[in-house]
Amino acid sequence: MVKIAPSILSADFCNLERDIRRVSTADWLHVDVMDGAFVPNLTIGVPVVASIRKHTEMFLDVHLMIDKPVRYVEQFCKAGADLLSVHLEADHPTRIADALHAMEANGVKKAVALRPITSAKAVLPYIEQLDMVLVMTVEPGFGGQKFMESQLDTIREVRALIDKYNPACELEVDGGIAPGTAEQVIEAGATVLVAGSAVYGAEDPAKAIELLRGSAS
């Protein structure tokens, strides 16, 4: 069954505990970390992840949109992340491999993320050791953007590589996911759907989560 991961980027940061409780029927909680360099936006860092960890048992899916992420992997692991995604565009391949090793050493699940410009083949050096591949369906940086249909091909290509080399690996999509686009990405092979505005912009977030889940049937 497809997993739903609401993104707290669209939550009210002054009422984060309340807004996390509002999505407690979801499978994972998606946490967007931005550094103002890899992407033109700043969000939250290690202390906020540590605070979130104290207030929820939810699986914390932490999306690092930061340059040279290996510098912070251990801190995010210690703060309580359950899974970390590092962008393949954020450092040299050897340092991406180092970041994945650091996750492994800390018992945290490992993922790589792809900007829309990055080809599916870029996951090949890592695929056999990954727990997840994250395919962006918008340019990373902001919530509420329009889903890029051209990314459906990348999702299909990554799905084919996962089926061939590591069938247990999850395939997450992030950006512009709402009931209509959810159906398309599931059809293309996604297993985890991130949704920010579609969940938090809804009057009833729990209902929005169910609606997204329903897109699988």
| Active site members | 32, 174
Residue with nearest beta carbon to ligand DX5:
196
Residues in region 168-197 near Zn ion by CB under 5 A: 174
- Shortest separation between residue 174's beta carbon and Zn ion, angstroms: 4
Which of 63, 110 has the CB closer to Zn ion? 63
Which of 91, 172 has the CB closer to ligand DX5? 172
Tokens of 158: 């990554």
Name the nearest CA neighbour of 177 among 159, 151, 203. 151
**DSSP H or E run through 29:** strand 28-34
Residues in region 9-48 near ligand DX5 by CB under 6 A: 9-10, 30, 32
Strands 28-34 and 109-114: unpaired
Using rule CB under 6 A, residue 154 touches ligand DX5: no
From residue 42 to residue 71, the character string flagging contacts with Zn ion as x (rule: CB under 5 A) and all else as - is ---------------------x--------
Q: Which does 11 bind (CB under 5 to 8 A by kind): ligand DX5, Zn ion, none?
A: none
Using rule CB under 6 A, residue 118 touches ligand DX5: no
Q: Going by C-beta distance under 8 Å and a sequence separation of 6 or more, which residues neighbour residue 98?
A: 70
Q: Which of 177, 185, 193, 211 binds ligand DX5 (CB under 6 A)?
A: 177
Q: How far, CA to CA in Å, does 118 sit from each of 65, 111, 157?
A: 15, 15, 12
What DSSP letter does each residue of 95-147 carry, written as one string? HHHHHHHHHHHTT-EEEEEE-TTS-GGGGTTTGGG-SEEEEESS-TT-SSPPP
Q: Going by C-beta distance under 8 Å and a sequence separation of 6 or more, which residues neighbour residue 139?
A: 115, 116, 145, 175
Which of 175, 205 has the CB closer to Zn ion? 175
Using rule CB under 5 A, residue 91 touches Zn ion: no
Residues in region 123-142 near ligand DX5 by CB under 6 A: 138, 140-142
CA distance 98 to 43: 24
Using rule CB under 6 A, residue 196 touches ligand DX5: yes
Residues interacting with ligand DX5, by CB under 6 A?
A: 7, 9-10, 30, 32, 63, 138, 140-145, 174-177, 194-198
